A and B are shown apart, each in its own frame.
Chain A
Amino acid sequence: MIYFNQRSGELMNNQLDFVKQVHCPKKVSKDDLVSTTQQNFLCTQCEKTIHNLDILDENEITQLLKKEPKVCVSFSSNHPNIKTL
């Protein structure tokens, strides 16, 4: 299970170790994202690729964030593997 602290914006692994800070300096919301592929979105503000965590499982998310810790991500509160704290 991956945990997301809604207040601080921190993603944590199942040991509650910090994994990633989910923070957008441009305060982009889901409406500002354009779907490019099934897996990714495109940010209309800064044209960066945003990974859609909703279609990834826990291992895939962990591997992605380990490989690219500064990648932009998007996920919803009903993600089966991300528990919102």
Chain B
Amino acid sequence: MREFFIESSQHKNLMKLVRILSDVYCYYKRKISYFIDSVDATDFTQPKEQFTIDIDSKEYKIVKTLRSLDAINAALVRREPVIIKQIQPNYDIRKQYAVYRHKIKGTLHFVHDFRSEFEVEDLYEQVFDFSTYYPMVHSGPLAAYVLPPFAKKGEKYWIEDLIEEVLDYHHQMSTYRVSSCLATFTGDDLVLDIETKNVTRDTITHAVG
């Protein structure tokens, strides 16, 4: 009987310990999940933050974009109206990142926002300070726009995924491309209806006040 009580009290202590560990785990899990939200550890492809012009795109017919040779050839075989473009990378498009290491697990994570570093410094240590890279990944040198059937000269269309790498705005050290815009069909090409902002690698803004 005495042994039973000793075992029981040990069991209670063990359960208490498990509860405390569980609370600690939940606390850090919340912190980790917040951190993971602010980073995209595997994202070395297209930037997720993309800007679209504030316009009702549903009013316009859509121009689709094909980014692989197989898809372009398939469209050509189907006799779809396509406009083939050469991809011209714009290296002024850049995404900022810093690399952090989890102090316990040793895993590496990207942080894309200056503000995140204050949230993570107790669990993560910085490996590389903030820098930038060209984030676009192309499957080949060609891409193509697929026009809607019976496209009319002078008509406006909505390009969902712009092949031309046009800069739009910058935030912190990152610059973002225009991902979608209106374009006018001239009969053999699409003329983009966007006002390209002058954002370059050397852009410096001034604050006065």
Listed in ascending order, the chain A residues whose CB lies under 8 Å from chain B are 3-4, 6, 9, 16, 21-24, 28-30, 32-33, 50, 72-78, 83-85
A58 to B198, CA, bound (A): 30
Number of A-B contacts (CB under 8 A): 50
Q: B189-209 interface mask toward A, CB cutoff 8 Å, 1 = contact, 0 = none? A: 000000000000000111111
Find B206's partner among A16, A23, A76, A83 (CB 8 Å cutoff): A76
Closest 3 A-B residue pairs measured CB to CB?
A22-B209, A30-B206, A24-B209
Chain A residue with the shortest CB-CB distance to B114: A85
A77 and B206: CB pair below 8 A?
yes
For residue B42, CB closer than 8 A to chain A, the reply is: no
A74 touches B118 (CB 8 A): no
Known: A72-B208, A74-B208, A75-B207. 6 other contacts (CB 8 A): A22-B208, A29-B206, A30-B206, A30-B208, A73-B208, A84-B114
| Complex alpha-carbon distance, A73 and B114, angstroms | 23
Interface residues of B (CB under 8 A from A): 114-115, 118, 171-172, 204-209
Chain A, Cβ-Cβ closest to B205: A77
The smallest C-beta distance from B183 to any residue of chain A, in angstroms, reads 31
Residues of chain A within 8 A (CB-CB) of B207 are 4, 6, 9, 22, 73-77
Given A84-B172, A85-B172, residue A16 in contact with residue B118 (CB < 8 A): yes
When chains A and B are docked, how far (Å) is the Cα of A77 from the Cα of B208?
A: 11
B129 CB, min distance to chain A CBs, angstroms:
11
Q: Which residues of chain B come closer than 8 Å to A75, judged between CB atoms?
A: 206-207
For the complex formed, measure the closest distance between the CB of B79 and the CB atoms of chain A, giving whole angstroms. 50
Neighbouring B residues of A21 by C-beta, 8 Å = 209
Q: How far is the CA of A25 from the CA of B204 in the complex (A)?
A: 22
Asked if B204 and A23 sit within 8 Å, CB to CB, the answer is no
Compute how far the CA of A81 lies from the CA of B209 in the bound complex, rounded to whole angstroms: 18
Closest A residue to B130 by beta carbon equals A83
Can you give 26 contacting A-B residue pairs, CB < 8 Å?
Answer: A3-B114, A6-B171, A6-B205, A6-B207, A21-B209, A22-B207, A22-B208, A24-B208, A24-B209, A30-B206, A30-B208, A32-B208, A33-B208, A72-B208, A73-B207, A73-B209, A74-B207, A74-B208, A75-B207, A76-B206, A77-B205, A77-B207, A78-B204, A83-B114, A84-B205, A85-B115
Contacts of A77 in B (CB 8 A): 204-207
